[in-house]
Amino acid sequence: MGSDTLSSGQLSLVGISSAALAAFREAALAARDQDYWQAIQYYGEALQFQQTPDEFRARLFEYRGQCFWLVGEFRAAEKDYNESLTTSDSLEQISRAHVRLGEMADFQGEYGRAEKLFRQALQEGVAAENLLVIGRARRGLGIVHRRQGNTEKALSHLTQALMAVRQAGEMREQGRVLISLGRTHQARGDYQLALNAYGEARTILENLHDRWRIAQVINYIGECHQALYDIDEALTHHQEALRMTAELDAVILTPEIKRNVGIDLVETGQYEAGLMYLQASLEGARELGNREYEAYSLYYLGRVYMQYEDFVQADRSIDTLYKVADMLDADRFRALAAFARG
């Protein structure tokens, strides 16, 4: 059925030295506790043992790549994902690597490449009868379709993804899919459905002590309150999420949350403080190389500058937003730029 653990019986541990296994287990414990730098160190130690089965080494590269990803070291993550793709000829491992590379492409705004990788992973996952890969690939396709504005297709893929990961018994993946379902409901303006999905995801993630994704969920719950004009509640959630990301050093999440804090502060009349957070959000997005984060930050900066009649800065922000929209080939951001300009 496909599992995300090495102890499931799906991956043979024959031929692996006790020292390599010990390093792997220490890495797994560190990753579980979200001490990702410590996990990276232990995965590296496990990889020092050359005489280990290819599939085990490939899985170590994948797991270390995910840790690099979570701390914002994207080049190292991509390198490890590519190593996990080429180290083993196992169809299951190849499909897992394609999903991870698809997630990387999606984050970088390469939506066409991401969709291709997710479709490839889905085909491979079906052939390998691996429910975990099927669920991850369908989640990826759902995210890409949402970004492209096709929320019906997104919901279809995400519903099937949830069925797959539930059948596989993968609780963390259920939380991830529910977050993506919430994002899609939110994009459709169905805020109560979004809040329901986020609430279910939060319960699962709290049981897993997954503070990284709990912070992510709290941020999105705040966005729903923001959209419903309950700004005080939105700000409470966004400040809590920002505090958690600071404790976790979750650099991937920080620009999005700072943007939301900035929006909330501007809405409550705190223009200077809000502008500071929006500018910090833009800087963080550019440091990460995330064009979508950058586009949203530019949009809100443009609107705030317009609102406070700083038309020179507004024009600069909106002109740059058009350029980013062209880089992403995203009509939704072109439309936002036009709306911001008025």
193, 185 Cβ separation under 8 angstroms: yes
Q: What is the CATH number of domain 6-89?
A: 1.25.40.10
Q: Tell me the residue type at 239.
A: Q
Whole-number pLDDT of residue 10 = 59
Average pLDDT over residues 223-249: 97
Cα distance between residue 148 and residue 151, in whole Å? 8
Question: How much is the mean pLDDT over the chain?
Answer: 94
Q: Compute the CA torsion angle 33, 292, 77, 155 (nearest 10 deg).
A: 70
Answer with the residue of higher pLDDT: 215 or 51.
215
Q: Is 269 exposed, middle or buried (0-12, 13-18, 19+ CB in 10 A)?
A: exposed
pLDDT in tens, 25-57: 999 999 999 999 999 999 999 999 988 899 999
Whole-number pLDDT of residue 7 = 40
Query: Within its chain, how far is the Cα of 140 from the centroid?
Result: 10
User: Locate tokens 């390093």: which residue?
Assistant: 23
pLDDT in tens, 14-25: 778 899 999 999
Contacts of 243-249 with CB under 8 Å at 24 or more apart are 244/211, 244/214, 244/215, 244/218, 245/215, 247/211, 248/34, 248/211, 248/212, 248/215, 249/71
Cα distance between residue 174 and residue 87, in whole Å? 28
pLDDT in tens, 110-168: 999 999 999 999 999 999 999 999 999 999 999 999 999 999 999 999 999 999 999 99
Listed by start position, the domains of the chain span 6-89
**Residue 196 above 70 pLDDT?**
yes
Query: Within its chain, how far is the Cα of 244 from the centroid?
Result: 16
Cα distance between residue 110 and residue 106, in whole Å? 6
